[in-house]
A = this chain, B = another copy of it.
């Protein structure tokens, strides 16, 4: 028999390379509750405590998974404090378990919720509950019980989605002057910088695209200007890395449909001195 779609649990944490064993103890805990579970990793290497980055990685990844997948998210700088733990089910049939600290912001913005509860029922926790690792003692067991078919309502009282914590990212777009103030959502291993400027995702063969919700066109051949630390940069808009010569800064539509900056075969983030959360201004050429 094919494994049930509810048997997939995907983990996202900020435990880092030195914290693999924390992930392992979560996986062991899950398998001790539901041995049929299959567990995948979204990432464990995001910037420590970065809710912005956690939200970005989750929101650009979950939709590639089968419906029914349960996402357990442990980016939890407030562990042990009064922050709540929540569990959500979207109408599109994805499940999310994690701290109510804003990490689910893009899910709440992009999906309709079928149900949302506050996790409170200690019956589904793994006791004794530590003060510093609710990922292992609360969130992993809740995810595992969910995967066994326990309904969301069993874990705690309903919460109105509007009462959940959200965060907002700086984004100002002046359509007339084509000036944009935006921020860095993510920097990958290659140093590619992902902004929060969403682009139209229609299939366009890469030669042009709109900034989502505007009439501003990004067209191959034109360029994006940027000032950083009194240095001016100009990045031609290209459709893929290979188009630029080695060492050239380029702007392009990233694989998640946000405006990205890349240094072909180099590290754009180091080159520009930008890191996650940084706000900066760009200007599209006429």
Interface residues of A (CB under 8 A from B): 2-3, 5, 8, 10, 12, 15-22, 24-29, 31-32, 35-36, 39-45, 48-49, 57, 60-62, 64-66, 69, 77-81, 83, 127-133, 136-137, 187-190, 201-203, 206, 239-243, 252-255, 260, 265
Given A265-B49, A265-B77: A241 and B36 interface contact (C-beta under 8 Å): no
A44 lies within 8 A of B25 (CB): no
A27 lies within 8 A of B40 (CB): yes
B43 lies within 8 A of A21 (CB): yes
Partner pick for A132 among B17, B22, B241, CB 8 A cutoff: B241
Given A28-B65, A31-B65, A79-B242: A131 and B18 interface contact (C-beta under 8 Å): no
Partner pick for A127 among B18, B48, B203, B243, CB 8 A cutoff: B203
**9 A/B residue pairs, CB under 8 Å, sorted by A:** A10-B24, A10-B28, A20-B41, A24-B42, A28-B62, A28-B65, A77-B265, A127-B203, A129-B203
Residues of B within 8 A of A69 (CB): 28
Partner pick for A2 among B35, B78, B206, CB 8 A cutoff: B35
B60 lies within 8 A of A25 (CB): yes
A128 lies within 8 A of B15 (CB): no
Q: State how many angstroms separate the Cβ of A21 from the closest Cβ of chain B.
A: 4
B45 lies within 8 A of A20 (CB): yes
A80 lies within 8 A of B239 (CB): yes
- Bound form: Cα–Cα A3–B109 in Å: 39
Partner pick for A45 among B3, B18, B42, B241, CB 8 A cutoff: B18
- Bound form: Cα–Cα A12–B265 in Å: 19
Given A21-B60, A241-B79, A265-B77: A16 and B65 interface contact (C-beta under 8 Å): no
